[in-house]
Amino acid sequence: MADVEFQCGHNCKNTCAMLNEALRKETASIRFYESVYDECATPEVKTFLGDIVEKRRTEILKIIQKLNEIHANASSLDGVISSFNSL
């Protein structure tokens, strides 16, 4: 198992640093596989690499959805807290 190069500060509010880092790395990974795909001349390998890219894109969408959920939940909580503070 690889060592984690990024350490979470555990002070996220409205977002998650670890998920943002995962998103960054997954995006870089897709760019790498796409460049390999573009250079490849073997149909079997191209198909294999295309499948990898599609799976990674699906994972990126899941990360983005989770980040959006975290942001929405935090915004809702902020609204509830601010409504009590204004009383």
Q: What is the pLDDT of residues 14-60, one digit of tens each?
A: 678 889 999 999 999 999 999 999 999 999 999 999 999 999 999 99
Nearest to 45, CA basis, from 37, 34, 53: 37
CA distance 11 to 67: 15
In a domain, residue 69? The reply is yes
Domain membership flag for residue 56: yes
In a domain, 4, yes or no: no
Residue 66 confidence (pLDDT) above 50 = yes
User: Taking the complete model, does pTM exceed 0.75, yes or no?
Assistant: no
The DSSP 8-state label assigned to residue 86 in this structure reads T
In a domain, 76, yes or no: yes
Number of domains in the chain: 1
**Is residue 21 in some structural domain?**
yes
Indicate the pLDDT class of residue 1, thresholds 50, 70 and 90: very low
Q: Are 57 and 26 in contact (CB under 8 A)?
A: no
Considering the domain boundaries, does residue 48 fall inside one? yes
Domain that holds residue 41: 17-85
